[in-house]
């Protein structure tokens, strides 16, 4: 079955600790994305990557970092510099736009709680 997996489903951390959220896809998609969702808000783009070893900041990149060493994987690190890290984090992937990719396919999400 092709799809996107995110782990873990729920994550708890103490303030001041960095935490890495996992995202893996086996759809052979070139592009991958990280969003966060807060109550009453839409999905806001944190980082995206159109190709391996390259990524760009989204609208709310401060306090986050990513890497894209493999096509299948796009981990997100929430650093201690992120002021409000508690949120629902969603990973997505798509074909490249030049390949006709518009639809993004989402993983099940990770609920991060920082206390």
Partner 1 sequence: DQQVKQNSPSLSVQEGRISILNCDYTNSMFDYFLWYKKYPAEGPTFLISISSIKDKNEDGRFTVFLNKSAKHLSLHIVPSQPGDSAVYFCAASGAGTASKLTFGTGTRLQVTL
Q: Which residues bind partner 1 (CB under 8 A)?
A: 4, 6, 31, 33, 35, 40-45, 48, 50, 56, 58, 88, 90, 92, 94-98, 101-109, 111
Contacts of 8 (CB under 8 A, 6+ apart): 22, 110
Q: How far is the CB of 81 from partner 1 (least distance, A)?
A: 24
State the Cα–Cα distance between residues 68 and 107, nearest whole angstrom.
Answer: 17
Q: Which is nearer to partner 1, 10 or 84 (CB)?
A: 10
Which residue, 17 or 97, has its beta carbon nearer to partner 1?
A: 97
**Bond prior to 8 in cis (omega within 30° of 0):** yes
Closest approach of partner 1 to the CB of residue 4, in Å: 8
Nearest to 48 by CA among 21, 63, 30: 30
Helices and strands in the chain, H and E counts: 0, 11
Task: Identify which of residues 15 and 54 has a Cβ nearer to partner 1 in the complex.
Answer: 54
- Residue 28 CB, nearest distance to partner 1 (Å)? 15
């Amino acid at each position: 079955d092709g799809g996107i997996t995110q782990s873990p489903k729920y994550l708890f951390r103490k303030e001041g600790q960095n935490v890495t959220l996992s995202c893996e896809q086996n759809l052979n998609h070139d592009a991958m994305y990280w969003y966060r969702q807060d109550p009453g808000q839409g999905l806001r783009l944190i980082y995206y990557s159109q190709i391996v070893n390259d990524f760009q900041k989204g609208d709310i990149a401060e306090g986050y970092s990513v890497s894209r060493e493999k096509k299948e994987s796009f981990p997100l690190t929430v650093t201690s510099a992120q002021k409000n890290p508690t949120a629902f984090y969603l990973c997505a992937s798509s074909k490249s736009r030049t390949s006709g990719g518009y639809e993004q396919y989402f993983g099940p999400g990770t609920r991060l709680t920082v206390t």
